């Protein structure tokens, strides 16, 4: 063991020495005769030499020049990951040795780059525990929570987004982007008049702010048309809490024009995994439930039948039950019976369901559904094109 | 019945439990001081709403219903003409505790039926 380690050490030393000798030539090659191969060679050598900053700088240059080249994109991803990992390590040292709000923000930012959102949330929460007056930390936490809210639509996350954005605004009234984000979020949940009031307040301080003016004009039009159509009662106060609860319960953001497209994308993606789910679990019936209650499988829309009725009823009841019990967003439902089991798994805003004949296969079914949601089952092309004429009419 | 449900109170991960009739009346519950009636009534409504489709699909009799959420779980286990509902965290293994309580409830129900019959 010792001799093997020693050999590796010697080999590593020789390789590094060689890299050190060759790197000036490789960098010159990238500078004078740039090509994807020259870039990959330089970036790989710099990473072996642990010069992560330089590797990341070169990888970004290469990405700007050869964005469509697969090798260059791969180098950009590898160097970016190494850069973020180094950033996390340095920020962790800084947090330990010289804790400051800025150090926590760096840690959160690099964690997000590594797609570790939970670590980023933890860093920001700890930051606010130690530095509760950091407006930047409140704003950053609101941003992450808003992304999670868009995924789960949990009322608790929505409340937290509003609270952090309001605190960030109070703590730093000069920065206009935070109240504008607050206004945009309020508008998204349906509190358009409150959003308009926030925008007006921003314009008192920043009269010439273009984004604030555009948002004010757009919100004014929405409010005016809502009052005219009778959907907005100007004498009634908007109940943001109730709006957030309605969104959580219905699983969709009614006034958000991007919502339908987002749900369609999620649904299509989940449906493409259904053949693999059936093969893996041996079940014959699977479906994807959209927030409005539409049931589809990989062949298109499913009509009303006991399976779709049961799945839709159960999903809706479960959603309401966990909300009433304050258990947070619903993740899964398992109805186990002697005659078989119905499993439902939350997949972003939709739910994926499988009807298992064998009641003993529940654990396997659960594992397969979790893998499906994580995108770890093989996808297949959808049999039917989505929407309009592509969807089969009525029941199949 | 209260004594039986109380057995679940000390089980790690359990936040609350109740035994209810299938039409939503609370028979016994823990912890004390919390009104479990709305939960029982709602769970009864849930069972009713899915009953017909479940029967058509041959999904009977119900053995267990599990709702898993971000901050915990709800487990519903029918016990004869009653149902045991347990609210718990998302990780603890409650299988043995639930089986024990369900078994004791079943036993109690059987005994009371024998006593009424004799």
Read off the pLDDT of residues B52-99 as tens digits, 9 standing for 90 and up: 889 999 998 888 899 999 889 998 988 888 888 988 887 777 777 777
Region A364-375 average pLDDT: 89
Q: Which residues on chain A are in Cβ contact (under 8 Å) with B49?
A: 313, 317
A4 at B interface, C-beta within 8 A: no
A61 at B interface, C-beta within 8 A: no
Here the tokens at position A379 are: 């996808």
B56 at A interface, C-beta within 8 A: yes
Which has the higher per-residue pLDDT, A320 or A360? A320
Split at pLDDT 50, 70, 90, the class of A20 is: confident
Residue A125 has pLDDT above 60, yes or no: yes
Which has the higher per-residue pLDDT, A123 or A317? A123
Q: Is the whole-model pTM more than 0.80?
A: no
Residue A317 distance to chain B (closest CA, Å): 6
B39 at A interface, C-beta within 8 A: yes
For a pLDDT cut of 70, what percent of chain A falls above it? 92
Question: For the ranges A87-91, A295-299, A392-396, which has the lowest average pLDDT?
Answer: A392-396
Residue B73, H or E segment: strand B72-79
Question: Where does A153-297 have alpha helices with state H?
Answer: 155-171, 177-189, 192-205, 210-229, 240-250, 257-272, 274-281
Split at pLDDT 50, 70, 90, the class of A257 is: low
- Contact criterion met (CB < 8 Å) for B63 and A336: yes
Residue B47 has pLDDT above 60, yes or no: yes
- Contact criterion met (CB < 8 Å) for B68 and A314: no
Cα of A47 vs its chain's centroid, Å: 29
Residue A93 has pLDDT above 80, yes or no: yes
CB-nearest to A307 from B57, B67, B69 is: B57
Which has the higher per-residue pLDDT, B114 or A138? A138
Residue A12 distance to chain B (closest CA, Å): 45
User: CA Rg, chain A, in Å?
Assistant: 26
Chain A residue with CA closest to B63: the answer is A337
B34 at A interface, C-beta within 8 A: no
Q: Which residues on chain A are in Cβ contact (under 8 Å) with B61?
A: 337-338
Task: Please give the pLDDT value at position B113.
Answer: 63
The mean of the pLDDT values for chain A is 87
Is ipTM over 0.90?
Answer: no
B96 at A interface, C-beta within 8 A: no
Task: Please give the pLDDT value at position A167.
Answer: 96
Residue B63, H or E segment: strand B62-69
Q: What is the pLDDT of residues A163-178, one digit of tens each?
A: 999 999 999 988 899 9
Split at pLDDT 50, 70, 90, the class of A228 is: confident
Which has the higher per-residue pLDDT, A216 or A329? A216
Q: Which residues on chain B are in Cβ contact (under 8 Å) with A118?
A: none
Q: Which residues on chain B are in Cβ contact (under 8 Å) with A327?
A: 67, 69-74, 87
Residue A130 has pLDDT above 50, yes or no: yes
Cβ atoms of residues A149 and A158 within 8 Å? yes
B29 at A interface, C-beta within 8 A: no
- Contact criterion met (CB < 8 Å) for A339 and B66: no
Q: Which of A173, A176, A174, A141 minimizes the C-alpha distance to A159?
A: A141
CA A128 to each of CA A42, A105, A149, A237, B82: distance values in angstroms, whole numbers, following the listed order: 41, 10, 20, 32, 48
Cβ atoms of residues A78 and A47 within 8 Å? yes
Q: Is the dihedral of CA A220, A223, A228, A234 positive or negative?
A: negative
Residue A341 has pLDDT above 70, yes or no: yes
- Contact criterion met (CB < 8 Å) for B71 and A313: no
Cβ atoms of residues A244 and A189 within 8 Å? yes
A325 at B interface, C-beta within 8 A: yes
Task: Please give the pLDDT value at position A65.
Answer: 92
Region A238-266 average pLDDT: 80
Residue A42 has pLDDT above 60, yes or no: yes
B-interface mutation test, from A145, A153, A249, A327, most B Cβ less than 10 A away: A327
Residue A101 has pLDDT above 90, yes or no: yes
Task: Please give the pLDDT value at position B117.
Answer: 53
Region A312-328 average pLDDT: 85
Residue A379 has pLDDT above 80, yes or no: no
Which has the higher per-residue pLDDT, A247 or A90? A90
Task: Please give the pLDDT value at position A179.
Answer: 95
CB-nearest to B46 from A321, A332, A340 is: A321
For a pLDDT cut of 90, what percent of chain B falls above it? 8
Residue A193 has pLDDT above 50, yes or no: yes
Most confident of A26-30, A153-157, A370-374: A26-30
Split at pLDDT 50, 70, 90, the class of B35 is: confident
């Amino acid at each position: 063991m010792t001799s093997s380690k020693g050999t590796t050490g010697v080999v590593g030393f020789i390789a590094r020495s060689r890299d050190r000798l060759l790197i000036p030539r490789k960098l010159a090659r990238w500078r004078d005769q740039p090509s994807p191969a020259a870039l990959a060679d330089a970036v790989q050598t710099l990473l072996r030499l642990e010069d992560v900053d330089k590797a990341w700088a070169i990888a970004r240059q290469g990405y700007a020049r050869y964005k469509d080249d697969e090798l260059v994109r791969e180098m950009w991803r590898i160097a970016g990951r190494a850069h973020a990992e180094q950033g996390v390590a340095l920020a962790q040292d800084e947090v330990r040795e010289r804790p400051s709000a800025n150090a926590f923000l760096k840690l959160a930012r690099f964690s997000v780059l590594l797609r570790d959102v939970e670590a980023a949330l933890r860093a920001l929460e700890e930051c606010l525990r130690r530095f509760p007056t950091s407006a930047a930390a409140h704003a950053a936490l609101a941003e992450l929570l808003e992304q999670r809210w868009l995924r789960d639509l949990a009322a608790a996350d929505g409340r937290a987004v509003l609270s952090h954005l309001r605190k960030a605004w109070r703590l730093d009234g000069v920065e206009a982007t935070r109240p504008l984000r607050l206004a945009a979020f309020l508008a998204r949940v349906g509190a358009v008049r409150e959003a308009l009031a926030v925008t007006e307040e921003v314009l008192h301080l920043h009269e010439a702010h273009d984004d604030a003016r555009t948002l004010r004009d757009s919100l004014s039009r929405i409010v005016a048309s809502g009052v005219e159509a009778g959907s907005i009662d100007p004498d009634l106060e908007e109940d943001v809490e109730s709006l957030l609860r309605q969104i959580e319960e219905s699983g969709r953001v009614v006034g958000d024009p991007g919502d339908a497209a987002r749900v369609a994308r999620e649904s299509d993606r989940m449906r493409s995994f259904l053949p693999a789910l059936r093969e893996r679990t041996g079940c014959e019936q699977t479906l994807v439930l959209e927030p409005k209650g539409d049931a589809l499988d990989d062949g298109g829309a499913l009509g009303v039948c006991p399976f779709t009725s049961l799945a839709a009823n159960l999903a809706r009841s479960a959603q309401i039950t966990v909300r009433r019990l304050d258990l947070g967003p619903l993740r899964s439902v398992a109805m186990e019976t002697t005659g078989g089991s119905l499993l439902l798994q939350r997949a972003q805003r939709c739910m994926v369901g499988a009807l298992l004949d064998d009641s003993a296969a529940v654990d396997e079914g659960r594992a397969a559904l979790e893998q499906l949601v994580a995108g770890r089952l093989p996808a297949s092309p959808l049999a039917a094109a989505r929407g309009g004429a592509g969807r089969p009419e009525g029941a199949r | 019945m209260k004594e039986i449900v109380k057995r679940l109170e000390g089980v790690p991960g359990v936040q609350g439990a109740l035994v209810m009739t299938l039409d939503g009346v609370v028979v016994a519950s823990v912890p004390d001081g919390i009104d479990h009636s709305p939960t029982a009534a709602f769970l009864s409504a849930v069972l009713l709403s899915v009953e017909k489709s479940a029967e058509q699909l041959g999904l009977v009799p119900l053995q267990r219903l599990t709702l898993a959420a971000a901050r915990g779980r709800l487990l519903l286990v029918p016990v004869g003409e009653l149902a045991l509902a347990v609210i718990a965290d998302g990780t603890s293994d409650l299988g043995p505790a639930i089986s024990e309580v369900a078994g004791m409830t079943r036993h109690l129900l059987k005994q009371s039926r024998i006593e009424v019959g004799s």
